[in-house]
Structures are given as structure tokens and as C-alpha cells.
């Protein structure tokens, strides 16, 4: 039974009014005549529609739409239409109001945006993912009105800020979705501040211990960082004032998420990350002098501090595809510390933090056209409605976070492509037909294959042949969503054409055998050959995989096809995914992993090799039973975000008697007796059995990997602590898979 909480209605009314006034204040700079009335109307409707609803935290539900509208106005800089839609974004989904009501009260535009924000209702077949379908629906409306995504990001940001009151499994699902799709979307739309907060909050709920650890360490070093920044700034500020450049200099710590990423990708401990913060110099400069003023500041900074030549990034001459403009350099600052310096103007800084909403304010045509170009590409990818929504999402996501390169056509036209893009990607970027007929390319006048990876500055001439058609292995050569979608389309079209030939061949054979060419008979034959569909049957007949001469063993009895050994058995239906999940969840809603596992078959997933003590979840696969993954497994974010309905909560029982394999990576300085000291600790000190050990030395340093049998994470952590103390050892990290 829920305990009764006494609610102070008057205090809540006051609070609602206070929040509404704060919202109006945030809208002040965009308000035009009549806008206030529209916002009031939307607020009154939302207040009435949600009046009996409360959030998980116990607060009145109306706090949420007001907060989302506030984020739209203040943090993204959107206008009245978006504020109205943000206030009403949940009413169609959660109350009796319909889209027609919204259309009548406000207009077509508002109804369209709210439709884009409303989740799909209805039943999907078990192989599809409702989450993926919802994402796709939302992205479909993106190509019509970018505000749908901006409001959705504001909605997600508020949900992440108030995730505390949710259950752990709900937190995991929502945080994983955020890291999988929403943070990359915010990045792509240039909403840097929101992207950073979404990533940090995502990490806070997926890996709370890691998040807390970095947060504490950042706090500990805060005073020292402030001293360093002051020391760095004083001489620079003096010179800037002397030459008459108005500038604001700030030091910003890097986000917890990006620090954690560095720890993971570079395999270095927190103490060894030198760029924990960046110094940003923001100059107030008129548009015509922006570029030259930024380079003047660069010159002043590098007169004082030595720059690292390979760390110069000029995103002023060629802005990123999301409109980001800035000049980055890394210099050797005071006390022998490397520090990243970002130089930009007030306009560039606002664009970097608020993204495309700020672009409209500046009406900067070059950057607007980049947004239009990106949305045009999305529209193309979305043109293909029969595509699997999950496949589409994976392809779409590929291009959200990728760093970019610039390549040129023979006439000098610049194309922006994601890093690792190939000659074939370039061909598809020019035109679908050129991509489909591409046989190779000349890069900087040298002949290269389709799979050649382009570098920034390459000039590419595409070579085509009228006889060329897309091949299956082309999918391995491309990284852009556009090229992938076009190749898949062409392959499907080709397969459909071949299947059509197979259908005609099969129909002739049926007529010859005096068997009716009916849908039930075709399906029975497909079942007999254990094929998923009639199209697959036709295709295999056409390519000779099924020899139609063998069909002479079939005949017809009472209108039904039979094999000479008797009638064709109907394929037994496998248990549905829903049944498998229900069986796995059982009565307790918790999978207990241990010696007596209620006869549920499970496997420890090799991609992350979980061991007792790890925070884990069970994932119901279609063919391999339940797989156990660590919550911080490389694949976890994707699984939790797209298939949350197939996830089962899991916990370990005590495992003192069972040992699990874990991998440890060790790096250090190659010293005499080092390997012997390491193996001694492993075998003598903690009675751990070693399965394999390998060491590579290179010019005085070594890289080693050891796989050991341990009982749980505590056991493994103790062992890693002892190994870190060995003289000569620099890093000891756990490997993800074995």
C-alpha cells in the first residue's frame, strides 16, 4: 500500500505560478504582439489536462512541461511556437485531447510538431523495436521541422535532470537511450551545452561509481586549477588590452564524460590526463574582422607559450558540419603543463553553446545552408520506408558523432564527409547513380580502389562503368548512412528482380506437376525448405540453390501440396520473444545468476566477460538463450536503448566456489625480474590461477596481458591494486573481452 502524502495545494499553486512567471521572463526576448496570450492559452490547457497527474517524484505533472518550455526558451533560444508545443507536448499522449483539438485551438504547424513528439501507439511484431520506431517517427518530422528534435531534446534533458526518483532498471534504459541517440543528436545540431550535460547525466546513471570518482577528483583539484588559469591569463590579458581587443578569458573543466572517455580510449589513469580543462578566449569582434582577430589572439598566445604543432585545429576557415567555429591549439603553459586554448568570438561562442537556434538569430547563410544540407541527407535516408527501423537507426547514428574530413571534386568543390569515409562514400555523396556505377577513383591523380580511406584535402575523381552494379561486400567499404542505405536499396531491388524470375520458374514447374500455384501451397513449400518467406524461396529457385527438378517428389492431394513421404509438416512455432522474456523474468522479476539458476540457461557474454560483483543485466537473445552483460559493456548502451523490453534484471549469488576468467592489461618500464615479480604476486599472494600470460617489450617499455581465474570483482580489484605497486608498472586495467 502506498503511504498517504499530505499535499499542500495552496503552496503548489503558488509554485506553479512562480514557475510560469519564470518561463515568461525567459521568453521575453522573442515575444511579439499576441504571443503572451498564446503561451497563457497553452499553459491553461496543459494545467487542466494534467491536473490529476503526478510525476514519479510526487510533484505535480505540470512542473515537467513548464520546465521543458523553459529549457526551449532559455537554453536553446526558441520562440513562441516551440514554447506552446513544449507546454502541450504530452497532452495528446496522456490525456483526452486529440491532435484535431490542438489544430483547432492553435493551428496546423503546432499540431504537426506535437504529432512528431507523440509516441507511436499500437502493436509491432516481435522482431521490431518500439523504441526504434519511435525514434524513426521523430526523425521523420525532423526533415519537416527541426523544432521537433529541439523540443524532444529539452524534454529528455529535463527527464535526465529528474531521473533520481526512477527505479534502477528504468534509469538504465533512459540513460542508455540518451547516450545512444539524444546526446549525438544534440552534438549534430550544435547544442554543445546540452550535449555535454546529457552525456554527463547518462554516465551518472549507467556507471555511477566512475562518475562519482571523477567528480570527487575534479573537486579536489579545483583550487589548484584556478591558480593555474590565473597565472596563465594575466600576461595574455595585458597584451590583449594593449592592442585594443576586448576579450573575456575563462577556464572550463572538461566534462566528466569526456574525461572518462579519455581514460578508456587512451588506457591512462585520471592523474595522467593533462587536458582536464580548456582555456577559452572569447573576443568581441565585428563580423568583418572575426577571422583576422582570432588569428591575432593566436599569435599573442603562442608568443608567450610554445604551441604543439600537431594540435592546431582551424574550424574558422572550415567550420564543422554542425556549424561549430573556433580555433583550437594546445600550448605548453606555466609549470610545464600542456593546456588547450580555444579562441572564438562572442557570435561563435553563442553558436557553439546554443546551436542552430542561435543560427536563425544571426541568419548566417553559410551555416544555415549546412543545416539544410544535413536535413536533406536525412530526408533521403528516410525515403526508404520498408527499411528495418533498427538498421536505419544504426546507419543514421554512424554520422551523428563522426569527426569530419574535407575532400574536393576535380573542379574544386568541397565535400564534408565523416572520418574513415572511402572513395565509394564520396561517389555516393555526389549522386546515387555515380555511386552505383563506381569502379574506382583517382585520388590526387593516383588510381585507388573503392575501399580507399580518404584524408582531409584529398582531391577525388570518381571512375564509373555502365556495367557496374552494387555488390554485397560494398557495405563493408562505406561509413556514411546515405551510401549504406542506397547500397541496401539496390541489393534489395536486385534480389526482388531475381526472385520474380524464380517465381515464374516455380509457377511453370507447379503447372507441369499439376499443383495449384496458391499462397498456402507456396508457404508449405517454403516451410518444407525451412525458409523464412516465399520471396526467399523464389530467390533460391532462381539462383539454383533449390533445384526444381527435385520438385517431382511433390504432388497435390485435395488441393494441398504433399511430399511423396506424406504431407508436409507445418513448421513448429518457436516460442515468441514475449514468452521467452516472460519465462526469463519468472515470478521474481530478477534473474539470479549462480549455482542453482532455476533451470534457466544463460551464458556470460564474451564481449565484456562479466564476473560476480559486476553490475549486470540479462538480455534475451532469439537463438542463444539469455546472455549476461556488464552494464558498462561496449554493447550495453545500444541493447538497453533499442531493446529494453528484452532486458531482464540480474544479480549474483555468492560465488566463493566458482572461478571466472578475467583479463588484465599491464604496461610499464621493462626491468629485469619484472615479469617474475608480476607472476609471483598473481600465484603466491592471492591464490589466483593464471590461464595465460603474454608480454611484448619494445625499446625499454612493455605491454602485457594476463588472464586469471577470480571469484568476483572484489577479488580482481585487490589483485590489480597489488600489481600497480610493482616497481616499473605504470598502468593496470581490466580488459573488456577475452
Q: Active-site residues: which are they? A: 93-94
3-state secondary structure 612-630: CCCCEEEEECCCCCEEEEE
Question: What residues form DSSP beta bridges with 630?
Answer: 616
Question: What residues form DSSP beta bridges with 620?
Answer: 626
Whole-Å CA distances, 303 to 70, 236, 331, 339: 44, 10, 10, 15
**Sign (positive/negative) of CA torsion 637, 638, 642, 648?**
negative
Whole-Å CA distances, 236 to 17, 296, 322, 603: 47, 12, 30, 59
Question: What residues form DSSP beta bridges with 692?
Answer: 707
CA-derived radius of gyration, the chain: 30
For residue 39, give the nearest of 88, 111, 95 by alpha carbon.
Answer: 88
CB 176 within 8 A of CB 637: yes
- Give all strands of the β-sheet with 591-593 in edge-to-edge order: 591-593, 647-652, 616-620, 626-630, 602-604
- Give all strands of the β-sheet with 446-448 in edge-to-edge order: 446-448, 438-443, 460-464
Distance CA 4, CA 417 (A): 58
CB 441 within 8 A of CB 423: yes
Classify each residue of 168-188 as buried b or exposed e, where b means 16 or more C-beta atoms within 10 Å of its C-beta: ebebbbbbbbbbbbbbbbbbb
Residue 361 contacts by C-beta under 8 Å, 6 or more apart in sequence?
Answer: 77, 350
- Give all strands of the β-sheet with 560-563 in edge-to-edge order: 554-557, 560-563, 566-567
Question: What residues form DSSP beta bridges with 404?
Answer: 418
What 3-state DSSP class applies to 714?
helix
Instruction: Please calculate the CA angle 523-529-534 and round it to the nearest 5 degrees.
Output: 35
Please state whether beta strands 338-345 and 277-283 pair in parallel, antiparallel, or not at all (unpaired).
parallel
CB 694 within 8 A of CB 708: no
What is the secondary structure of 79-115 as a DSSP string? -HHHHHHHHTTTHHHHSS--HHHHHHHT-HHHHHHHH
What 3-state DSSP class applies to 34?
coil
Cα torsion at 558, 564, 567, 573 (round to 10°)? -140
For the beta carbon of residue 534, count every other beta carbon within 10 angstroms: 17
Distance CA 324, CA 503 (A): 53
CB 55 within 8 A of CB 63: yes
| Phi, psi of 420, rounded to the nearest 5 degrees | 75, 5
Distance CA 115, CA 109 (A): 10
What is the secondary structure of 142-189 as a DSSP string? HTT-THHHHHHHHHHHHHHHTGGGS-HHHHHHHHHHIIIIIHHHHHHT
E-assigned strands of 254-300? Answer: 277-283
Amino acid at each position: 500500500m502506498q503511504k498517504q502524502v499530505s499535499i499542500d495545494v495552496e503552496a503548489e499553486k503558488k509554485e506553479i505560478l512562480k514557475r510560469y512567471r519564470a518561463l515568461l521572463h525567459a521568453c521575453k526576448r522573442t515575444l511579439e504582439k499576441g504571443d503572451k496570450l498564446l503561451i497563457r492559452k497553452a499553459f491553461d490547457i496543459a494545467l487542466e489536462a494534467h491536473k490529476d497527474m503526478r510525476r514519479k517524484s510526487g510533484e505535480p505533472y505540470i512542473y515537467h512541461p513548464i520546465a521543458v518550455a523553459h529549457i526551449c526558451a532559455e537554453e536553446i533560444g526558441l520562440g513562441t511556437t516551440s514554447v506552446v508545443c513544449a507546454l502541450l507536448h504530452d497532452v495528446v499522449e496522456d490525456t483526452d485531447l486529440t491532435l484535431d483539438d490542438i489544430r483547432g485551438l492553435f493551428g496546423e504547424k503546432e499540431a504537426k510538431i506535437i504529432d512528431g513528439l507523440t509516441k507511436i501507439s499500437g502493436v509491432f511484431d516481435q522482431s521490431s523495436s518500439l523504441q526504434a520506431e519511435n525514434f524513426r517517427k521523430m526523425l521523420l518530422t525532423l526533415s519537416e521541422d527541426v523544432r521537433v528534435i529541439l523540443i524532444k531534446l529539452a524534454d529528455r534533458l529535463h527527464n535526465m535532470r529528474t531521473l533520481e526518483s526512477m527505479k534502477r532498471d528504468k534509469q538504465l534504459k533512459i540513460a542508455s537511450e540518451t547516450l545512444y541517440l539524444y546526446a549525438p543528436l544534440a552534438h549534430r545540431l550544435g547544442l554543445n551545452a546540452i550535449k555535454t550535460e546529457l552525456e554527463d547525466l547518462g554516465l551518472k546513471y549507467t556507471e555511477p561509481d566512475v562518475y562519482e570518482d571523477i567528480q570527487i577528483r575534479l573537486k579536489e583539484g579545483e583550487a589548484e586549477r584556478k591558480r593555474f588559469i590565473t597565472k596563465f591569463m594575466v600576461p595574455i590579458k595585458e597584451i590583449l588590452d594593449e592592442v585594443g581587443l576586448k576579450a573575456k578569458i575563462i577556464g572550463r573543466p572538461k566534462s566528466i564524460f569526456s574525461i572518462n572517455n579519455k581514460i578508456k580510449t587512451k588506457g591512462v589513469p585520471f592523474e595522467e590526463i593533462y587536458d582536464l580543462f580548456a582555456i577559452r578566449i572569447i573576443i568581441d569582434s565585428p563580423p568583418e574582422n572575426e577571422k583576422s582577430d582570432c588569428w591575432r589572439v593566436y599569435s599573442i598566445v603562442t608568443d608567450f607559450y610554445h604551441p604543439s604543432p600537431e594540435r592546431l585545429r582551424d574550424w574558422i576557415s572550415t567550420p564543422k558540419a554542425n556549424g561549430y567555429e573556433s580555433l583550437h591549439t594546445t600550448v605548453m603553459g606555466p609549470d610545464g603543463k600542456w593546456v588547450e586554448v580555444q579562441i572564438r568570438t562572442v557570435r561563435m561562442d553563442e553558436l557553439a553553446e546554443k546551436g542552430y537556434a542561435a543560427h536563425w538569430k544571426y541568419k548566417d547563410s553559410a551555416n544555415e545552408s549546412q543545416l539544410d544540407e544535413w536535413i536533406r541527407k536525412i530526408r533521403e535516408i528516410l525515403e526508404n520506408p520498408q527499411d528495418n527501423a533498427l538498421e536505419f537507426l544504426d546507419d543514421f547514428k554512424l554520422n551523428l558523432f563522426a569527426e569530419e574530413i574535407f575532400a574536393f571534386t576535380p573542379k574544386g568543390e568541397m565535400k564534408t564527409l565523416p572520418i574513415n569515409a572511402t572513395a565509394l562514400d564520396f561517389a555516393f555523396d555526389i549522386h546515387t547513380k555515380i555511386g552505383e556505377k563506381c569502379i574506382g577513383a583517382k585520388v590526387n591523380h593516383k588510381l585507388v580502389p573503392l575501399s580507399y580511406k580518404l584524408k582531409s584535402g584529398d582531391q577525388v575523381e570518381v571512375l564509373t562503368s555502365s556495367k557496374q552494379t552494387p555488390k554485397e561486400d560494398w557495405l563493408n567499404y562505406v561509413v556514411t548512412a546515405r551510401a549504406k542505405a542506397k547500397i541496401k536499396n539496390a541489393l534489395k531491388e536486385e534480389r526482388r528482380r531475381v526472385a520474380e524470375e524464380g517465381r515464374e520458374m516455380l509457377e511453370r514447374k507447379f503447372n507441369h506437376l499439376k499443383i495449384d500455384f496458391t499462397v498456402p501451397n507456396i508457404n508449405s513449400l517454403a516451410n518444407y525448405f525451412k525458409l523464412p518467406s516465399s520471396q526467399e524461396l523464389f530467390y533460391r529457385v532462381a539462383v539454383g540453390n533449390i533445384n526444381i527438378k527435385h520438385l517431382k517428389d511433390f504432388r497435390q492431394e485435395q488441393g494441398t501440396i504433399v511430399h511423396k513421404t506424406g504431407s508436409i509438416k507445418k513448421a513448429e512455432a518457436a516460442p515468441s520473444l514475449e514468452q521467452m522474456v516472460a519465462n526469463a523474468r519468472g515470478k521474481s522479476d530478477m534473474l539470479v545468476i549462480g549455482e542453482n539458476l532455476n533451470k534457466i540457461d544463460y551464458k556470460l557474454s564474451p564481449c565484456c566477460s562479466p564476473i560476480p560483483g559486476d553490475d549486470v543485466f540479462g538480455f534475451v537473445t532469439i537463438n542463444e538463450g539469455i546472455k549476461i552483460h556488464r552494464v558498462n559493456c561496449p554493447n550495453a548502451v545500444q541493447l538497453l536503448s533499442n531493446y529494453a523490453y528484452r532486458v531482464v534484471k540480474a544479480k549474483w549469488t555468492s560465488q566463493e566456489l566458482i572461478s571466472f576468467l578475467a583479463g588484465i592489461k599491464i604496461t610499464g618500464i621493462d626491468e629485469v625480474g619484472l615479469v617474475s615479480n608480476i607472476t609471483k604476486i598473481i600465484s603466491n599472494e592471492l591464490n589466483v590461477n593464471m590461464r595465460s600470460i603474454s608480454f611484448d617489450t619494445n625499446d625499454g617499455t612493455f605491454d602485457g596481458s594476463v588472464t586469471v581465474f577470480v571469484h568476483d570483482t572484489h577479488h580482481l580489484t585487490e589483485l590489480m591494486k597489488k600489481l600497480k605497486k610493482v616497481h616499473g608498472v605504470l598502468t593496470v586495467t581490466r580488459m573488456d573481452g577475452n
